[in-house]
Structure 1
Amino acid sequence: MSAITQLKDIVENEAEARATGAEHSTGAEQSTSAEQRPATRRTAMEVLPKKPSTKGTAELFTGDVWFDVVAAGEEPSRIRVNVVRFAPCARTAWHCHAAGQTLHVTEGVGLVQSKGGEVIVMRPGDTVHTPPGEWHWHGAAPDHFMTHLALWEGPGPDGGPESQWGEHVTDEEYNARQRHRRAGQ
């Protein structure tokens, strides 16, 4: 039996046990009584269904951008993770995040810039963090595709927007690469 099949069987058994109110045994007996166990019980791990890829809208992006939602946590988790794929010259509009954002490049060559800062070149393995409220843009270099993981958090139970979007990055701003530096330098 494959590991995936075994995992599915375990998840199905857990779900069935929860539905009938029975405890699922993994073979290792618990030494604590029900009165000694914590009141909250961890829910079973689940394999989430893959969502279809989404084309980035013209309101938020210049050029061809596609993304896949990897995680969109619900309270108490607020994590957001997308895999974002940019065609050459494609880029986000100026934007900022309430809790900051981390980008991790997985392939290609990308560019990132904070408002008033210099354009930074990103390559596979580079990780760039923008702090909360910092206006920035990111996208692919003119002659390369670029893929990155985008990680950020939602604003929490107090509300407020997790991201704010501004104007499109002009060609002049995008082409200011002559004064760029490499990420991490």
Structure 2
Amino acid sequence: MRAMTQATTDPESPGEPPIGSTTGHDLLSPRGRTLRMVITAVGLAVLLAGTLFGTDDHFPFGPFRMFATTDAWSKPISIARAQVVDVDGRTIVLTEANSGVRRAEVEGQLDRFRREPAALAGLADAYRAHNPSAPKVARVAVVLRHHEISRSGPTGHYTDEVVAEWTA
């Protein structure tokens, strides 16, 4: 009669520690642990300081308040737009399609345009680059349209305020 032997399969090689065990080789040295703790403490301190004293400009270490606050329900909503007036007197609102400039880029530069109206020449250049056969640009303006709100909804009334203007 023949003897049958059953082969055992051991997933771990002889002399190797079992999977999941620590051997001391993969632990951090005391210096490494201290360094990680110091880096973590500094990161948390910067995050806390940014939260208490920071502004949106300090993101990600400061609060991002864009959607964290609300205005009064009847406060007007202001939307910025840039527009060019060509030599024929036509007013064209600048869009991404006709100038490559998005409204958010105009809104992000409002303070600069107020301080330096000559910077609006760049918007004229962008419009000309996208519309080479269009009449020449005579003037560029940034306009804030203030939409009136009542009972949390638009009333259909608005006022326009020119906040920066440049003449070619």
Q: Could you say which TM-score interval applies, normalised by the shorter chain?
A: under 0.3
Q: What TM-score does the superposition give when structure 2 sets the normalisation length?
A: 0.24
Q: Which has the larger radius of gyration?
A: 2
Higher share of residues assigned helix = 2
Q: What TM-score does the superposition give when structure 1 sets the normalisation length?
A: 0.23
Higher share of residues assigned strand = 1
